[in-house]
Structure 1
Amino acid sequence: MLKEKKRALILFVIALVLCFAGSLGASLVQTGGGSINVQNYNNKPLAQVAETIAVNNIAGNKNITATFTSSTTEKMTYKVLVPKNATPENPAPAVVMMHGGLSNKDTTAPIYIELARRGFVVIAFDAMGHGKTDKGVDALTHNTMGMEAMVELAMSMPCVDETQVGVTGHSWGNNGSAAVINVINLGEENPKIKAWLCAQGTLGIYDLQPGAIDGVTFGLSVGKYDEIDATYVGSYTFTSSPIATGWIQEVYPAFDAAEVPTGIWFDAGGAHEVAEGTKFEGIGGRVLYHPANTHPGALFSKTGTATNVNFFYGAFGVPGGAAYIPSEHQIWGWFTAFLAVGLAGWFVLALAIFDLLLFTPMFKRLRGNQEALIISDQKGLPSFRNLKESVPLICMFIFLTVFSYLTMVPCTAAGSKLIPSSNFFPNAAHTSGALGYWSFVTALVSLLAIYIVSQIKMVLNRKDKSYHWKNPLDPAKLSADKLVQSALMAFTVFCAIHLVLWCIDAAFNVDFVIATIDFTTFRPVKIFVMLRYLLLCAPFYIVNAILNANTRFKDLPEWASTAIVCVGNVLGLGLLLFREYSALFATGSLLTGEACSTFTVVWSMLVPLTLSPIIARYTYKRTGNVWVGALLNSFIFIMMQVGTGQYMIEGIDITMFGL
Structure 2
Amino acid sequence: MLRTCGFFLLGLALILGGSLLASRVQTDGGRVEVRDVRFAGDGGLIQSGLLYVPKTATAQDPAPAVLASHGYINTREMQSAFAIELARRGFVVLAMDMTGHGRSQGGVAENDFGGPAALRYLQGLPFVDRANIGLEGHSMGGGPILAAAVAQPDGYRSIVLEGSTPGLLGAKAPERPRNLAVVFGGYDEFAQLMWQVPKGSDVERSARLMALFGTAAPVVEGRVYGSIADGTARVLHNPPITHPWEHFSRAGVAPAVAWFQQTLDGEPAGPPAGEQVWLWKEIGTGIAFVGFAWLLLGTFEILLRTPLFAGLSRPAEPVVERRDRRWWLAFALTALVPALTFYPAMKLGQVFFPMRLFPQWIQNQLLVWALVNGLIFLVLGRFRKRKPVFVNRWLLSVAAALVTVGAGYLSLVAVEAVFQTDYRFWVLGLPTLAAEDWATLVPYVVLWTLFFLVAVRGLAADLAVRGEGFLSQVTTGKLAMSLGFLALVTIQYVTLFATGFLATPSEPLNTIVAIQFVPLLALVGAIGAWTYRRTSSYVPGALICALVIGWYVTAGTAVHWTPDFKLPQPGASRSR
Same fold (TM over 0.5): yes
Q: Greater shift after overlay, 644-653 or 323-332?
A: 644-653
**Counterpart check, 1:495 vs 2:491:** no
Distance 1:493 1:352 in 2: 9
Task: Check whether the contact 2:85–2:276 (CA below 8 A) recurs between aligned residues.
Answer: yes
1:427 matched residue in structure 2? 360
**Counterpart check, 1:242 vs 2:207:** yes
**Counterpart check, 1:159 vs 2:127:** yes
Report the Cα offset of residue 490 of structure 1: 0.5
Aligned counterparts, 1:157-196, within 5 A: 157-185=125-153, 191-196=154-159
Distance 1:644 1:307 in 2: 27
Aligned counterparts, 1:490-569, within 5 A: 490-550=401-461, 551-554=463-466, 556-569=468-481
SS of residue matched to 2:83: helix
Q: Greater shift after overlay, 518-527 or 87-96?
A: 518-527
**Counterpart check, 1:129 vs 2:45:** no
Unaligned runs of 5+ in 2: 566-576
Report the Cα offset of residue 569 of structure 1: 2.1
**Counterpart check, 1:217 vs 2:187:** no
Aligned counterparts, 1:1-12, within 5 A: 5-12=1-8
The Cα RMSD (Å) is 2.4
1:343 matched residue in structure 2? 289
In the superposition, relative to structure 1, how do residues 102 and 652 fare at CA in structure 2: closer, same or farther (>3 Å)? farther
In the superposition, relative to structure 1, how do residues 615 and 589 fare at CA in structure 2: closer, same or farther (>3 Å)? same
Task: Check whether the contact 1:164–1:194 (CA below 8 A) recurs between aligned residues.
Answer: yes
Q: 1:116-144 CA distances to partner (integer Å, 9 max, x unpaired)?
A: 111111001211111111106965xxx22
Task: Check whether the contact 1:96–1:151 (CA below 8 A) recurs between aligned residues.
Answer: yes
Report the Cα offset of residue 201 of structure 1: 2.2
Aligned counterparts, 1:246-645, within 5 A: 246-249=211-214, 255-257=215-217, 259-267=218-226, 280-316=228-264, 319-320=266-267, 322-368=268-314, 373-375=315-317, 382-384=321-323, 390-417=324-351, 419-428=352-361, 431-452=362-383, 454-455=384-385, 470-472=386-388, 474-475=389-390, 477-478=391-392, 482-550=393-461, 551-554=463-466, 556-645=468-557
Q: 1:329-349 CA distances to partner (integer Å, 9 max, x unpaired)?
A: 111111111112211111111
SS of residue matched to 2:507: helix
In the superposition, relative to structure 1, how do residues 525 and 150 fare at CA in structure 2: closer, same or farther (>3 Å)? closer
SS of residue matched to 2:231: coil
SS of residue matched to 1:329: coil
SS of residue matched to 1:423: coil
SS of residue matched to 1:353: helix
Q: 1:417-457 CA distances to partner (integer Å, 9 max, x unpaired)?
A: 1x1111121102xx2122111111112222332442x32xx
In the superposition, relative to structure 1, how do residues 406 and 358 fare at CA in structure 2: closer, same or farther (>3 Å)? closer
Report the Cα offset of residue 176 of structure 1: 1.3
Distance 1:203 1:213 in 2: 9
In the superposition, relative to structure 1, how do residues 207 and 325 fare at CA in structure 2: closer, same or farther (>3 Å)? farther
1:275 matched residue in structure 2? none
1:38 matched residue in structure 2? 34
SS of residue matched to 1:239: helix
Q: Which amino acid aligns with 1:646?
A: A
Q: 1:604-656 CA distances to partner (integer Å, 9 max, x unpaired)?
A: 11122111111122222222211111110111112111112312344279xxx
Report the Cα offset of residue 198 of structure 1: 1.3
Distance 2:327 2:439 in 1: 37
Task: Check whether the contact 2:36–2:48 (CA below 8 A) recurs between aligned residues.
Answer: yes
SS of residue matched to 2:225: strand
Which structure has the larger Rg over C-alpha atoms? Answer: 1
Distance 1:20 1:231 in 2: 42
2:190 matched residue in structure 1? 228
Counterpart among 88, 91, 94 of residue 117 in structure 1 = 88
Q: 1:311-357 CA distances to partner (integer Å, 9 max, x unpaired)?
A: 2122215x44x233122211111111111221111111112221222
2:17 matched residue in structure 1? 21
Q: Which amino acid aligns with 1:196?
A: I
Distance 1:78 1:311 in 2: 23
2:74 matched residue in structure 1? 103
Report the TM-score, using the length of structure 1 for normalisation.
0.80
Task: Check whether the contact 2:405–2:544 (CA below 8 A) recurs between aligned residues.
Answer: yes
Distance 1:223 1:241 in 2: 14
Task: Check whether the contact 1:383–1:555 (CA below 8 A) recurs between aligned residues.
Answer: no
Task: Check whether the contact 2:179–2:231 (CA below 8 A) recurs between aligned residues.
Answer: yes
In the superposition, relative to structure 1, how do residues 145 and 337 fare at CA in structure 2: closer, same or farther (>3 Å)? same
Report the TM-score, using the length of structure 2 for normalisation.
0.91
In the superposition, relative to structure 1, how do residues 535 and 208 fare at CA in structure 2: closer, same or farther (>3 Å)? closer
In percent, how many aligned pairs have the same letter? Answer: 25
